[in-house]
Chain A
């Protein structure tokens, strides 16, 4: 399904490449903001990329002072100007890391909006989008118009573009659609699924169930992608696939919950996933669809509860062109 690599993966690869080649020497201090600026990307993919590299031992976290290339932290106070470094970047220096077609911007903005609106209401800065994506007003207006059509944003009384809040009603409506289409889509996709792949997915769900520690966000993403994206990938009806994808908003809430809440328990979700995969493993599409319907209903209740928790939060990390109003 995913033809593009995720943004943070691209950033991770670029950073790893430049560290490997020595263009980013050992000991170089990397602040999220500075790297984002150097690569002309937003902060959140940089943050995730650096976390990944830190897990891999390529960079080391230095408390509030960002990351340092290599495994040891050198305590100097210099802040290197990353623009002075001759980095190896895809494309040429004047274009962004990933050339932004405006469709990609729509997708990106839509995603960043979704990451913000469970927390409250945001005002969208037109010029902020221009600056952030290095695009013209015309392109930005096109992007906003599309988002308006999708129902992601609206105008307030003072004619500002506003996103949010994500209401329980919106979750209900999308769940309603999803409950109708996604099980049917899974039933259609089931005969063409690779059983080896299904077994691997089931293995992941089972091992997550037996693991002691809380699921990481990446594990959670992986498990959700397994069931709700990969299992539907054999679908030939791309319009149906699109409808399913557009209704999968609860992902966002569950992921944010995992990001911000100290202790989340995903046991129920894992048990439900495993049950669906059990049916798929014996090519029982009807049974899988029923189990999926049960999972979606149970998940909807959890998502509604979680949305309420997110609503009390102060300052989530959000895209620079959004300003929180409430």
Chain B
């Protein structure tokens, strides 16, 4: 009896339909474990023997440094030729998610870089951009033709009605975007702030918190939904599944397209350094299954983009494709991954098509070099 393939990842990245379908379609047992917090990452770096596949999220450089994942053989991937073609031509997906390609290929000296090789650090699965969302009614208070900006997060017009994400890695990036916009500053590299810049951002946030600007901080998607639904928040960081949920509940939420650009993210499949033998074969089968199209279509219904959209097109109804990827108004009510209606007829996805939205990725989720300092100061903010 073959032992199950053990897959770990965040709950939004492994929705129930994906877990069910994988179990149904693959000819070996698959065990999914959902770990949302930092514990997942801790386990990956200390106990690579405790998992086989990890759906990583902005941590590939860390887990590669720790050598707890193994190089993926490009020749064993169905999408191998497409990945290579994108990398060599420097076009297509390698431009859409260039940050992924920057650390995709294993080099002869063991480092990760953009130069193509036959070994990958990870298999890119899904990507997207996030920004803040706001209630449609907020538009009433805007000046004519006023464009959305990250500065709104700190704007006194919505004092006491703003929500923030509680995670320091993402929070510091959004804080920096907001501080830059509202105070007219310009950080050298907003994805990798210096100690002084982190201090600048956090001190601003602390001041705002003390004068009662923030209504709440959320760490789980449900909290984000609740804050807007009945917590008195009109504007806050939001992920696409939470926005879909709110829309499904009839809350008119608008995802902003800030002038300064959005916060990009990607999630990719990695194989444990400890996986071998027939379990390794199973891991490759799982990776290939994920790229096949069905899973990508499922992710599309919660607003995530797949690495190779053409592969999933056939798995989406043309109306769904037009809405999620094309940025066209919904011709009819559209379902979420679990079949509940989450998009009303006539709704148009803010920011437009896949390419238009991804071209607005200004900064990508990442652990900054001064991560420990970020965490220290973020704690100061949370406790202020």
Q: Is there contact, CB below 8 Å, between B376 and A311?
A: no
- Residues in B with CB closer than 8 Å to A243 are none
Q: Which of A165, A306, A308 has the most CB of B within 10 A?
A: A308
- Residues in B with CB closer than 8 Å to A311 are 367, 371-372, 375
Interface stretch, picked from A12-20, A107-115, A133-141, A262-270, is A262-270
Residues A258-277 near B (CB distance < 8 A): 260-265, 267-268
Bound Cα distance A311, B46 (Å):
13
Q: Is there contact, CB below 8 Å, between B371 and A308?
A: yes
Bound Cα distance A305, B38 (Å):
18
Q: Is there contact, CB below 8 Å, between B376 and A264?
A: no
- Residues in A with CB closer than 8 Å to B67 are 261, 263-265
Chain B residues with a Cβ closer than 8 Å to the other chain, count: 30
- Tell me, yes or no, whether A285 is within 8 Å of chain B by CB: no
Give min CB distance, A28 to chain B, whole Å: 32
- Tell me, yes or no, whether B234 is within 8 Å of chain A by CB: no
Q: Is there contact, CB below 8 Å, between B376 and A309?
A: no
- Tell me, yes or no, whether A166 is within 8 Å of chain B by CB: yes
Q: Is there contact, CB below 8 Å, between A167 and B372?
A: yes
- Chain B interface mostly: helix
- Encode A106-133 as 1/0 by CB contact (under 8 A) with B: 0000000000001111000000000000
Bound Cα distance A306, B379 (Å):
23
Considering only CB atoms, which chain B residue lies closest to A301 in the complex?
Answer: B111
- Tell me, yes or no, whether B48 is within 8 Å of chain A by CB: yes
- Tell me, yes or no, whether B207 is within 8 Å of chain A by CB: no
Q: Is there contact, CB below 8 Å, between B194 and A308?
A: no
- Residues in A with CB closer than 8 Å to B371 are 308, 311
- Tell me, yes or no, whether A312 is within 8 Å of chain B by CB: yes
Considering only CB atoms, which chain B residue lies closest to A298 in the complex?
Answer: B109
- Tell me, yes or no, whether B373 is within 8 Å of chain A by CB: yes
Q: Is there contact, CB below 8 Å, between A169 and B375?
A: no
Q: Is there contact, CB below 8 Å, between B48 and A305?
A: no
Q: Is there contact, CB below 8 Å, between A261 and B46?
A: yes
Q: Which of A268, A304, A313, A326 has the most CB of B within 10 A?
A: A326
Q: Is there contact, CB below 8 Å, between A326 and B46?
A: no
Bound Cα distance A264, B110 (Å):
12
Bound Cα distance A264, B68 (Å):
8
Q: Is there contact, CB below 8 Å, between A312 and B42?
A: yes
Give min CB distance, B37 to chain A, whole Å: 10
- Tell me, yes or no, whether B41 is within 8 Å of chain A by CB: yes
- Tell me, yes or no, whether A325 is within 8 Å of chain B by CB: yes
Q: Is there contact, CB below 8 Å, between A167 and B373?
A: yes
Give min CB distance, A30 to chain B, whole Å: 26
Considering only CB atoms, which chain B residue lies closest to A310 in the complex?
Answer: B372
Q: Is there contact, CB below 8 Å, between A312 and B38?
A: yes
Give min CB distance, A136 to chain B, whole Å: 31
Q: Is there contact, CB below 8 Å, between B66 and A261?
A: yes
- Residues in A with CB closer than 8 Å to B185 are none
- Encode A95-108 as 1/0 by CB contact (under 8 A) with B: 00000000000000
- Tell me, yes or no, whether B47 is within 8 Å of chain A by CB: yes
Residues B364-384 near A (CB distance < 8 A): 367, 369-373, 375-376, 379
Chain A: number of interface residues, binned into ranges: 20 to 34
- Tell me, yes or no, whether B91 is within 8 Å of chain A by CB: no
Residues B62-89 near A (CB distance < 8 A): 62-63, 65-68
Residues A292-326 near B (CB distance < 8 A): 302, 304-309, 311-314, 325-326
Q: Is there contact, CB below 8 Å, between B379 and A326?
A: yes
Q: Is there contact, CB below 8 Å, between B367 and A262?
A: no
- Residues in A with CB closer than 8 Å to B63 are 309
- Tell me, yes or no, whether B136 is within 8 Å of chain A by CB: no
Residues B266-288 near A (CB distance < 8 A): 273
Bound Cα distance A305, B47 (Å):
19
Bound Cα distance A72, B194 (Å):
55
- Residues in B with CB closer than 8 Å to A199 are none
Considering only CB atoms, which chain A residue lies closest to B109 in the complex?
Answer: A268
- Tell me, yes or no, whether B341 is within 8 Å of chain A by CB: no
- Encode B125-136 as 1/0 by CB contact (under 8 A) with A: 000000000000
- Tell me, yes or no, whether A168 is within 8 Å of chain B by CB: yes
- Tell me, yes or no, whether B249 is within 8 Å of chain A by CB: no
Bound Cα distance A118, B379 (Å):
17
Knowing A309-B66, A311-B367 touch, does A165 contact B273 (C-beta < 8 A)?
no
- Tell me, yes or no, whether B61 is within 8 Å of chain A by CB: yes
Bound Cα distance A302, B41 (Å):
19
- Tell me, yes or no, whether A183 is within 8 Å of chain B by CB: no
- Tell me, yes or no, whether A164 is within 8 Å of chain B by CB: yes
- Encode B190-226 as 1/0 by CB contact (under 8 A) with A: 0000110000000000000000000000000000000
- Tell me, yes or no, whether B113 is within 8 Å of chain A by CB: no
Q: Is there contact, CB below 8 Å, between B68 and A262?
A: yes
- Residues in A with CB closer than 8 Å to B14 are none
- Write 22 A-B pairs (CB below 8 A) sorted by A numbering: A120-B376, A164-B376, A165-B376, A168-B370, A260-B46, A261-B68, A262-B48, A262-B66, A262-B273, A263-B66, A263-B68, A264-B67, A265-B110, A309-B45, A309-B62, A309-B63, A311-B372, A311-B375, A313-B42, A314-B38, A326-B376, A326-B379
Spell out A's residues near B (CB within 8 Å): 118-121, 164-169, 257, 260-265, 267-268, 302, 304-309, 311-314, 325-326
A-B interface, 3 closest residue pairs, ranked by CB to CB distance from nearest = A165-B372, A168-B369, A305-B65
For the complex with contacts A263-B48, A325-B376, A326-B376, 19 further pairs of A-B residues with Cβ separation under 8 Å are: A165-B375, A167-B373, A168-B369, A168-B370, A169-B194, A261-B45, A261-B46, A262-B45, A262-B48, A262-B49, A263-B67, A263-B68, A265-B110, A304-B369, A308-B61, A309-B62, A312-B42, A314-B39, A325-B379
